A and B are shown apart, each in its own frame.
Chain A
Amino acid sequence: MKTLRAILAVFQVTRRRIVNSRAFIWLLLAVLAASGALPFALRGDGSTESLLKLAVIYPPVLVFGILLTGTLWTAAALSAQDVESGAFSAIVVKPAPLTAVWLGKWLGLLTLNAVLLGVAGVALRTAIAIRATPSSATRILDGHAAFLPDDAPLREEASARQTVIRMSGEPTPDVNSLLMHVKTEAFRIPPGQHYSWTIPLDGSGIAGADADWSLQFQFHCAAVERRPIDGTWTIRTADGTEQKIPANGLLDGPHQLPLGSAAYAGTVSVSFSNQSDSAATVFFSPLAPVSLLRREMPFGQNLLRAFLLLFCFLAAAAALALSLGTLFSFPVAVFIASALVLALLLAHSFAAIPEPGHSHGPSDLAAHAGSRAGEWMLAKLHHGTARTLRLMPLRQLADARTIRTSQLVRAALALLAAIPSSLCLISGLHLRRREFPI
């Protein structure tokens, strides 16, 4: 009970300290600008859909970036500046456990993030509601379950190519690298040609049920200029039903076409036919060329889940910076925390480079020993954090994917419980051992 009271006392003081700081006001204004004003400044290709898509891509990323910076700064200040000002000396001579002091400060930081994320969420939702004309346009932002094409035939071809290369005695590339090459070649559709993807729906537990569907795809053009592409999408179901959807004047980039209410089941074939008089050859993304989307959840609910996940990430960042603040001086703690976050982002981006032969890709770097060491470290860093970073919801929100409850639970366990409690214990042990000469 005494420990709980100590946590509460530190929490209340931390909360007041944050609210009374200028940083809080600036963060609030920045977050409001990013979430409430930025959607009004964005210009897409002129359509409401593209505008709404942009509105769920840039503002959440910007809000997260602002809050991450603010959290690292504030958290490091909360512990490091307390030690430097002598405020911590007055606290550590009290019988309250040092982990309770850490926990109280961390909970105060969570309050800051909860308030600012709440403000950002409401502002973004309101801005999108205002910009969406007609209001039903926001349906493309709803949470969807995604069904991806079966790439087994292409994988078999990649394996076959790998075997041929191996038998020729040349250095054998990784099968995944070859798969990317095979997909890139296969998904290249010149004018007058078409390509079909097979999307299995069996085993999803929704086969046969009436639902709202849409088709999502992403391509780029061979032409230097962005020329509009004319084509036709054809959806064929297992029972032979065929649905043709003209897609004229498409500019390269991501797209989402509503298919309406349907009861798809079994295996669905999706094909794109590039018209013979079309402006250029189209290249569908080898990573996610097309996907069938089944509407599951309203946008507001999905946005709430996305922001809850962002909250979990900010909580882990707060724990990290708070702990570093107990180990180092304020500027050093902020520097190390920021460097760690940047290294994580770099490792993640590095690992996401799709083609090994890319000018910035791993193969080019592998020629130099120093670069190879850096590559190895980034790869290890990515490998160690990939499972956690996959919980980041920004891409899912932008792609209109449902953020699953299981994802929320995993994020809560990892980012709200496991990481902070480990850091709390480490900080508590360190504070017990450290001296406070000021």
Chain B
Amino acid sequence: MNAIETNQLTKHFRDFWGRIHVTAVRDLNLQVTTGSLFGLLGPNGSGKTTTLKMLTGLLHPTGGSVRVLGGAPRDRATRQRLGYLPETTGMYPYLSARDMLHFHAGLFGIAGDDARRKADALLETVGLVQAANRPVGEFSQGMTRRLGLALALINDPELLILDEPTAGLDPSGCRLVKELLRERAARGKTVIISSHLLADIEDICEAVCILHDGQLIAGGPLREMLEQREQTRFTATDISPEHQAALQDAFRQITGQPATIDYPRLKLETFFDQAVRTAQDTTQP
């Protein structure tokens, strides 16, 4: 079953005189399976944010149709099950993080102890417990992003739409977001992420689509798209130089081709994460 289906989805922006100024999205056909982590990729101006805004009902399609969780994006029933992190999180700077969460909970009709419990749990999840009572106006960009994510999760949505969720986040924040999204997908929730940070998408998404100039230019399961079937890799642990030379000779004799031997590298993110954890362990009493 698809959480999202678009059919020939098109969006024109018009100028003052009603003439088509820009075609942001053109004939987009998209299917996002329920429970998947889906990435929306593309360079700046490719139509990612416009697509997400049409999925959330903030923009009306000029042509085509869109179904979100089986209904129209502007249906109250759809919105009840939807979480959205916009690219620019318009927050009230005088409210604290906790108050912002209570406010958004109220918009879902959640109040009292239930709202307090959800707010506290989400503050813990996004790592903002220490800053829970600070005004949002004092937050860094990364903290604002974390709070935005918490706001999008306040109703435990079935479909989570995130526009550049890791923008401005430090590596630990990025890792936190990724873990959170994986955990949600494991619980059968659907997540759509728009980003131009390819590494983040590659890390977590099962399927992607790539937009360029408002058109879909590639899409499908990520594993299938990236797999290079014409190459084969063997992995082994702690092999001496003599054994490596012997293996290369044997490989050449059997296949008639030379084999390349190198050492796998850690991702910088993983290395950074390990270094920070080590430093934290040594500084803690």
Chain A residues within CB distance 8 Å of chain B: 1-3, 5-6, 8-10, 12-13, 16-17, 20, 82, 85-97, 101, 432, 435-438
Q: Which residues of A contact B105 (CB under 8 A)?
A: 9
| B60 adjacent to chain A (CB < 8 Å) | yes
Whether A20 and B80, one on each chain, are in contact in the complex, defined by CB atoms closer than 8 angstroms, is no
B side interface size, CB within 8 A: 34
Question: Which residues of chain B in 66-95 are interfacial with respect to chain A, using CB atoms and an 8 Å cutoff?
Answer: 74, 76-77, 79-80, 82, 84, 86, 88-92, 94-95
* Bound CA–CA A6/B86 (angstroms): 21
Whether B58 and A93, one on each chain, are in contact in the complex, defined by CB atoms closer than 8 angstroms, is yes
Minimum CB–CB distance for A437 against chain B, Å? 6
Given A93-B84, A95-B80, A436-B53, A88-B90 contact (CB < 8 Å) = yes
Whether B79 and A93, one on each chain, are in contact in the complex, defined by CB atoms closer than 8 angstroms, is yes
Q: Which residues of A contact B102 (CB under 8 A)?
A: 9
Contact pick for A96, options B84, B88, B109, CB 8 Å: B109
| B180 adjacent to chain A (CB < 8 Å) | no
Minimum CB–CB distance for A434 against chain B, Å? 9
Whether A89 and B86, one on each chain, are in contact in the complex, defined by CB atoms closer than 8 angstroms, is yes
Given A3-B109, A13-B95, A436-B59, A89-B90 contact (CB < 8 Å) = yes
Question: Which residues of chain B in 32-63 are interfacial with respect to chain A, using CB atoms and an 8 Å cutoff?
Answer: 53, 56-60
Chain B residues within CB distance 8 Å of chain A: 13, 53, 56-60, 74, 76-77, 79-80, 82, 84, 86, 88-92, 94-95, 99, 102-111, 151
Q: Which residues of A contact B91 (CB under 8 A)?
A: 87, 90
User: Chain B residue with minimal CB distance to A83?
Assistant: B90
* Bound CA–CA A124/B246 (angstroms): 101
Contact pick for A87, options B92, B106, B109, CB 8 Å: B92
Whether B94 and A16, one on each chain, are in contact in the complex, defined by CB atoms closer than 8 angstroms, is yes
What would 18 A/B residue contacts be, using CB atoms closer than 8 Å?
A1-B109, A6-B108, A9-B105, A12-B103, A16-B94, A85-B90, A87-B91, A87-B92, A89-B90, A90-B89, A92-B58, A93-B57, A93-B79, A95-B109, A436-B59, A437-B13, A437-B59, A438-B88
* Bound CA–CA A94/B56 (angstroms): 10
Whether B53 and A437, one on each chain, are in contact in the complex, defined by CB atoms closer than 8 angstroms, is yes
Whether A86 and B108, one on each chain, are in contact in the complex, defined by CB atoms closer than 8 angstroms, is no
Q: Which residues of B contact A5 (CB under 8 A)?
A: 106, 109-111
Whether B103 and A95, one on each chain, are in contact in the complex, defined by CB atoms closer than 8 angstroms, is no
Whether A90 and B86, one on each chain, are in contact in the complex, defined by CB atoms closer than 8 angstroms, is yes
Whether B58 and A2, one on each chain, are in contact in the complex, defined by CB atoms closer than 8 angstroms, is no
* Bound CA–CA A20/B137 (angstroms): 13
User: Chain A residue with minimal CB distance to B89?
Assistant: A90
Q: Which residues of A contact B89 (CB under 8 A)?
A: 86, 90
Minimum CB–CB distance for B252 against chain A, Å? 61
Minimum CB–CB distance for A364 against chain B, Å? 41
Whether B109 and A91, one on each chain, are in contact in the complex, defined by CB atoms closer than 8 angstroms, is no
* Bound CA–CA A438/B248 (angstroms): 59
* Bound CA–CA A437/B60 (angstroms): 10
Q: Which residues of B contact A96 (CB under 8 A)?
A: 107-109
Minimum CB–CB distance for B285 against chain A, Å? 40
Minimum CB–CB distance for A85 against chain B, Å? 5
Whether B111 and A435, one on each chain, are in contact in the complex, defined by CB atoms closer than 8 angstroms, is no
Q: Which residues of A contact B103 (CB under 8 A)?
A: 9-10, 12-13
* Bound CA–CA A432/B109 (angstroms): 19
Contact pick for A86, options B77, B90, B106, CB 8 Å: B90
What 5 A-B pairs are tightest by C-beta distance, nearest first?
Answer: A9-B106, A2-B109, A86-B90, A87-B90, A94-B107
Q: Which of B60, B79, B80, B107 has the most CB of A within 10 A?
A: B107
* Bound CA–CA A438/B105 (angstroms): 22
